[in-house]
């Protein structure tokens, strides 16, 4: 009778607008784009921005330190650092204690730049916090849970 009719299983109801990984990706991309408006004028790419931020409050660190702390591939960090050095914003020296390590630090120029950019980044953060209002604490709590959770499988 209907043996040559393709039986297509019914797909479950899937609403993309309710799907958390998708929503989170969209929101993250939007915030990243808006934040980039702050440092793009200074000629910084996103990886370069992250390295600069890390150097701003961590003093003298190695590539490996940044890789661990900011979860960037070490090759990404290495290339970002190379360009920052060329731009005169970062200084690369050999660690005297361990020859494998590279000691990255801000130059005076880099320091001056971050003194200009960081307040604007913080202002943006305050804007976001104001926008979230009463949901801010729950939001932070939820993010922390997601970041610290382990995959069940």
* Nearest partner of 24 among 122, 145, 126, 130, judged by Cα: 145
HSE toward the beta carbon, residue 41, CA cutoff 13 A: 9
Cβ proximity to DNA: between 32 and 127 the closer is 32
74 binds its own copies (CB under 8 A): no
| CB contact at 8 A, 60 and 81 | no
Beta bridge partners of 90: 106
Instruction: Name the site residues for its own copies (rule: CB under 8 A).
Output: 6, 8-16, 18-21, 23-32, 34-35, 37, 53-54, 56-57, 69-71, 108, 111-112, 114-115, 118-119, 121-122, 124-125, 127-129, 131-132, 134-136, 138-143, 145-147, 149, 151-152
Instruction: Name the site residues for DNA (rule: CB under 7 A).
Output: 45-47, 62-65, 67, 72-82, 92, 98-102
């Amino acid at each position: 009778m209907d043996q040559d009719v393709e039986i297509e299983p019914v797909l479950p109801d899937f609403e993309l607008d309710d799907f958390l990984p998708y929503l989170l990706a969209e929101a993250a991309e939007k915030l990243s784009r808006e934040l980039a408006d702050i440092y793009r004028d200074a000629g910084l790419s996103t990886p370069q921005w992250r390295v600069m931020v890390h150097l701003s409050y961590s003093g003298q660190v190695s590539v490996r330190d940044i890789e661990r702390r900011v979860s960037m591939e070490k090759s990404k960090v290495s290339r970002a650092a190379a360009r920052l050095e060329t731009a005169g914003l970062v200084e690369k020296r050999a660690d005297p204690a361990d020859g494998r390590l590279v000691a990255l630090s801000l130059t005076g120029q880099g320091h001056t730049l971050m003194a200009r950019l960081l307040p604007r980044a913080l202002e943006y953060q305050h804007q976001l916090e104001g926008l979230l209002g009463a949901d801010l604490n729950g939001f932070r709590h939820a993010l922390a849970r997601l970041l610290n959770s382990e995959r069940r499988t």
